[in-house]
Amino acid sequence: MERFIKPVPYKLSMAKKPGLRGLSMNQQYYEAILQLRSPSEKVTDFVVSAINRASRKTLVSRVVTLKTGVDLFISSRAFAVSLGRRLFGCFGGSLEISKRLYGLSKDNKRVYRVSVLFKPPCFRQGDVILYEGHIVLVSSLGRQAKGTDLDTGRRAVIDYKKDAERLEVRKSVVTKLHPWLEAMHPETFETRPVYNKEYASGLGLRQGSRVRVVLSQGRVYAVDC
């Protein structure tokens, strides 16, 4: 069930941010809907800041909060499209821009309303994900997500359209260096071989060193110190 939030100024209630500039003369007027789905706090910060720094003609007439996110009804098509592209360029994820015919203007020109749908990825910079069978440490987001394959140490490019699973990073301790590297399993507390020993060899680990690890298919992968 949608919940409609009325008067001006509006807030992105999920983040409890400073009020958005509202449209007081005609609260039904809008040219675009910015649809944010599962937005993080950084995303909502970015949106609120962009709207409050925009031209005085760029106003928010309505905010509708949903279980999956929030819809902002904005007075400028160009601003909404530009903001959607900036969000995608900064945070990555998925961006869909569509338009529908709304009517005709006084000079008989077609008038369109635009929907800008933005959804950030399920992972953030610094997260470790399972992607196409590989364990990847995410180093940057943007139009392309990039990271390091923890098996090989090679650079990895992540396609937002493909499935990725965020893995929990745990604390562990190096228990053995020779004949192979071992670390304490964070759940069973047993000593286990570190599966990505080629990558881990570049971390400068010593016996007793603290190390962050992830688990996948029962294997222990070293992430960093």
Give the domains, in start order, of the chain with CATH numbers: 3-119 (no CATH), 122-166 (2.30.30), 168-225 (2.40.50.500)
The SS3 of residue 70 is strand
**Phi, then psi, of 160 in degrees rounded to 5:** -60, -25
Mean pLDDT confidence for 140-154: 94
What average pLDDT is seen over the chain? 87
- Residue 16: per-residue pLDDT: 44
Structure confidence at residue 124 (pLDDT)? 93
Q: Which residue has the higher pLDDT, 128 or 178?
A: 128
Give yes or no for a contact between 57 and 75, defined as CB atoms under 8 angstroms apart.
yes
In which residue are the tokens 């789905």 written? Answer: 37
The answer to whether residue 2 scores a pLDDT higher than 60 is: no
Q: pLDDT at position 103, please?
A: 73
Q: Does residue 92 carry a pLDDT above 60?
A: yes
Backbone angles phi, psi at 86, to 5 degrees: -65, -40
Question: Residues 130-152: what's their mean pLDDT?
Answer: 95
- Please check the confidence at residue 186 and state whether its pLDDT lies above 50: yes
Residue 19 confidence (pLDDT) = 54
pLDDT for 22: 54
Region 160-182: mean pLDDT is 95
| 72: pLDDT strictly greater than 80 | yes
The predicted structure's pLDDT at residue 87: 97
SS3 state at 219 = strand
- In the DSSP assignment, the letter for residue 181 is -
Q: Which tops the pLDDT comparison, 29 or 172?
A: 172
Straight-line distance from the first to the last Cα atom of the chain, in angstroms, rounded to the nearest whole number: 46
Task: Output the six-digit token pair for 106.
Answer: 């006084």
Whether residue 138 contacts residue 179, with contact meaning beta carbons closer than 8 Å, is answered with no
**Residue pair 147/136 in contact by the 8 Å Cβ criterion:** yes
CB 92 within 8 A of CB 84: no
Backbone angles phi, psi at 33, to 5 degrees: -120, 120
Per-residue tokens: 132: 């196409």
Calculate mean pLDDT across residues 191-211: 94
Q: Which two tokens stand for residue 4?
A: 């409609």
Closest C-alpha to 83, from 100, 58, 102: 58
What's the rounded Cα separation, in Å, for the pair 193 and 104? 69
